[in-house]
Amino acid sequence: MSLVRDFFIGLSENKLLNSAAKKYGLKLGAQLVVAGTNVDETIESIKKLNAQGISCTVDNLGEFVFDKSEAIEAKEKILSVVEAIHTHEVDAHISLKPSQLGLDIDYDFCFDNLKEIVAKANQYGIFVNFDMEDYDRLQPSFDILESLSKEYDNIGTVIQSYFYRAEEDIKKYKDFRLRIVKGAYKEPEEYAYQDKKDIDDNYIKLIEYHLLHGKFTSIATHDHNVIDHVKEFVKVNNISNDKFEFQMLYGFRYDLQLELVRQGYNECTYVPFGNDWYGYFMRRLAERPQNLNLVAKQVFNKKTNTFIGLAAGAFLLGRLTKKK
């Protein structure tokens, strides 16, 4: 399993494949995992999900941002999403990556960009979630969160269960709305668990802690075993459904999302949009390779093999690139 995970992480970091995916994404079947290439398309996708009782968190996709102009462009696009959520009165909030907004360029520059987004979202009562990335970006992202939380209360973040420090972090930030995930980057043994069982066990431990002690918990999983465990845990501990939600990715297990809504649980879909979708999707496969099967089944239901072609092409191109 670790070899499969490493393989998909390697693909996610391949700039050649990222560039090709941006150019040919829709032809390769990117629409299966991306809600739209622009804000208008994305809002329409959100409206359809809202109509089924599903809320959304919106992510403007982006990789490898090392230029201030790119970061400013990303900021403006996210601000336009905030404005569109308010204008169309849809049930949605924002997810963003500090690195896309300049964290790798300059800390203060990134802080100012994030503050502008958070301030605008706060004006409209829209929540903003700081997605966590790899270990090197972890503490700076937490630092920005803490600084902004002194002025704004509409922000939260992500705790990744593969980090040794995750238990300490979840206790420190328990008063924030938190999304609990397993983690989707390749991290050294110095910082993170490497064994799947250790990661899974810590994942459940973190979920249970925040359900009992935290503000609001977003449980990011497609695993019915985890979902069933949470259902039983909240029942035994008399935890209200208003204290948590399940989160799944756009294009994945839509039937299960609808079933959770029918059962009275809060369900939120992670809605990515834009052309820079490739790295995001490869990390989702790294996080849980079974996701490939979930999408493939939906592709077959639509009588198309575009996604299988994408996966095969990525595999072959990855091998050729490695040989070079």
* Whole-angstrom Cα Rg for the chain: 19
Task: Mark 200-212 as b/e (b = at least 16 C-beta within 10 Å).
Answer: bebbbebbbbbbe
The candidate with the shortest Cα–Cα distance to 118, out of 102, 141, 96, is: 96
Integer Cα distance of 294 and 299 in angstroms? 9
List the catalytic residue out of 5, 177, 179, 253.
Answer: 179
- How many residues appear in the chain? 324
The candidate with the shortest Cα–Cα distance to 226, out of 283, 288, 295, is: 288
User: What secondary structure letter does DSSP report for 56?
Assistant: E
Amino acid at 318: G
Integer Cα distance of 84 and 121 in angstroms? 11
Show Cβ contacts of residue 41 under 8 Å, excluding neighbours closer than 6 positions: 35, 273
Show Cβ contacts of residue 37 under 8 Å, excluding neighbours closer than 6 positions: 26, 273, 274, 275
Integer Cα distance of 201 and 277 in angstroms? 30
User: Is 179 a residue of the active site?
Assistant: yes
List the catalytic residue out of 5, 59, 104, 131.
Answer: 131
User: Is 131 a residue of the active site?
Assistant: yes
- Pull the structure tokens for residue 41: 């398309």
Burial class (CB in 10 A: 0-12, 13-18, 19+), 40: exposed
- Pull the structure tokens for residue 39: 């804000």
CA triplet 308, 312, 318: central angle to 5 degrees?
A: 145
Catalytic residues: 131, 179
